[in-house]
């Protein structure tokens, strides 16, 4: 089997439904495993978490229903799978499940380039929802200034849609400001969010999860703190040119925007924006729903 998802011949699973995938990157020690553990503890919907080694995720034993091979089945309907046999097998194993998860979170290794993994999130049955890069605020400047690690760090920064600062309790306000200034200089279009702790970092991973109202629903307001949530009317119908202009005019501190628009021809399109990443794509029949207003989450 080829490792290139763009050349694989597969049949779209789940009647064309696509599951959102969030990629979690960050250099070694940034807190990815801690955030994912918190995400699993707080979620109320069936999700799938793909990690380098299931054994490295110290999941509460009370949540584990059974283990088979490199997969943990959790009592809340979630599944945790190892990437030990590669991305192809991990995504194939998810596609083989009769019911899709609501959301997939993929933890990258500490030296991985998220951009090289991103095509897997757009393979059959899935769609990339965003790339979140965690940054150890206490170690960031040292990592960036060290020629042995700088290339890994800058590559990860270049792929990010959202930066989440961790270990913020170890750095004073001046130090945090310096980190944010360096990030702004390197990637000025990517929003920066300070994580107050594991719970805050874990909540940010919930960005892509489906909600009962449909594919355009966004997480509840408490997932961002502080933040504002705005609902902006979308003209129905709206041309692609007018839609792009409307999105271009959103405030610079927008970290999330979602909605369902209808074009002049009556076709419905899903609007997804996470940080700087924007995608406007046709809704397949399996995901079709009525047009909505545009929901905007700002820092």
Computed over its alpha carbons, how large is the radius of gyration of the chain? 19
Q: What does residue 61 show for φ and ψ, rounded to 5 degrees? A: -60, -25
Q: Are residues 91 and 203 in the same domain?
A: yes
Which residue among 176, 208, 240 closes a domain? 208
In the sheet with 294-298, reading across from the earlier edge strand, the strands are 228-232, 294-298, 254-262, 268-274, 277-282
pLDDT above 50 (res 223): no
Which residue among 173, 208, 243 closes a domain? 208
**Separation of alpha carbons 201 and 196, rounded Å:** 7
Q: Are residues 158 and 285 in the same domain?
A: no
* Tokens read off for 217: 């629903």
In this prediction, residue 258 carries a pLDDT of 84
Q: Are residues 112 and 260 in the same domain?
A: no
Q: Work out whether the CA dihedral 238, 244, 247, 249 comes out positive or negative.
A: negative
Q: What is the pLDDT of residues 16-29, one digit of tens each?
A: 788 889 999 999 88
In this prediction, residue 9 carries a pLDDT of 47
Q: What is the pLDDT of residues 26-41, one digit of tens each?
A: 998 898 888 888 888 7
Q: Which of 7-21, 57-71, 144-158, 167-181 has the lowest mean pLDDT?
A: 7-21
Closest CA to 223 of 250, 252, 196, 247: 196
Residue 8 domain flag: no
pLDDT above 60 (res 209): no
Q: Are residues 111 and 162 in the same domain?
A: yes
Q: Are residues 60 and 155 in the same domain?
A: yes
Q: What is the pLDDT of residues 162-186, one digit of tens each?
A: 898 999 999 999 999 999 999 999 9
Which residue among 154, 175, 208 closes a domain? 208
Residue 215 domain flag: no
**Separation of alpha carbons 75 and 79, rounded Å:** 9
Residue 168 domain flag: yes
- Residue 289: give the domain boundaries: 221-298
Residue 1 domain flag: no
In this prediction, residue 231 carries a pLDDT of 86
Q: Are residues 228 and 87 in the same domain?
A: no
pLDDT above 90 (res 265): yes
Non-local CB neighbours of 207 within 8 Å, separated by 6+ positions: 22, 129, 130, 132, 162, 219, 223, 256, 274
Q: What is the pLDDT of residues 247-257, one digit of tens each?
A: 999 987 787 78
Q: What is the CATH number of the domain that holds 50?
A: 3.40.50.300
For the chain, how many structural domains are there in total? 2
Q: Are residues 115 and 59 in the same domain?
A: yes
């Amino acid at each position: 089997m080829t490792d290139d998802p763009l050349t694989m011949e597969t049949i779209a699973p789940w009647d064309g439904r696509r599951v959102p995938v969030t990629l979690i990157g960050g250099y070694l020690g940034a807190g990815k495993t801690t955030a994912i553990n918190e995400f699993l503890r707080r979620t109320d919907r069936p999700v799938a978490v793909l990690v380098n080694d299931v054994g490295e995720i110290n999941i509460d034993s009370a949540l584990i229903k059974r283990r088979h091979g490199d997969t943990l089945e959790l009592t809340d309907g979630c599944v945790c799978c190892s990437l030990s046999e590669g991305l192809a097998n991990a995504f194939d194993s998810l596609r083989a499940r009769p019911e899709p998860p609501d959301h997939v979170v993929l933890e990258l290794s500490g030296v991985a380039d998220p951009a090289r993994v991103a095509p897997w999130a757009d393979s059959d049955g899935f769609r990339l929802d965003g790339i979140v890069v965690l940054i150890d605020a206490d170690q960031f400047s040292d990592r960036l200034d060290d020629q042995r690690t700088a290339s890994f760090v800058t590559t990860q920064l270049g792929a990010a849609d959202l930066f989440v600062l961790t270990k913020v309790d170890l750095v004073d306000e001046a130090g945090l400001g310096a980190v944010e200034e360096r990030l702004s200089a390197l990637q000025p279009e990517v929003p920066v969010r300070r994580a107050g702790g594991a719970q805050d970092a874990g909540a940010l991973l919930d960005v892509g999860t489906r909600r009962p109202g449909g594919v355009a629903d966004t997480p509840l307001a408490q997932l961002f703190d502080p933040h504002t949530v705005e609902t902006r009317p979308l003209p129905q119908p709206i041309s692609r040119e007018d839609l792009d202009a409307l999105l271009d005019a959103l405030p610079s501190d927008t970290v999330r925007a979602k909605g369902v628009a209808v074009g002049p021809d009556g076709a419905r399109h899903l609007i997804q924006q996470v940080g700087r990443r924007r995608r406007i794509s046709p809704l397949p029949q399996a995901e079709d729903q009525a047009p909505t207003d545009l929901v905007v989450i700002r820092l």
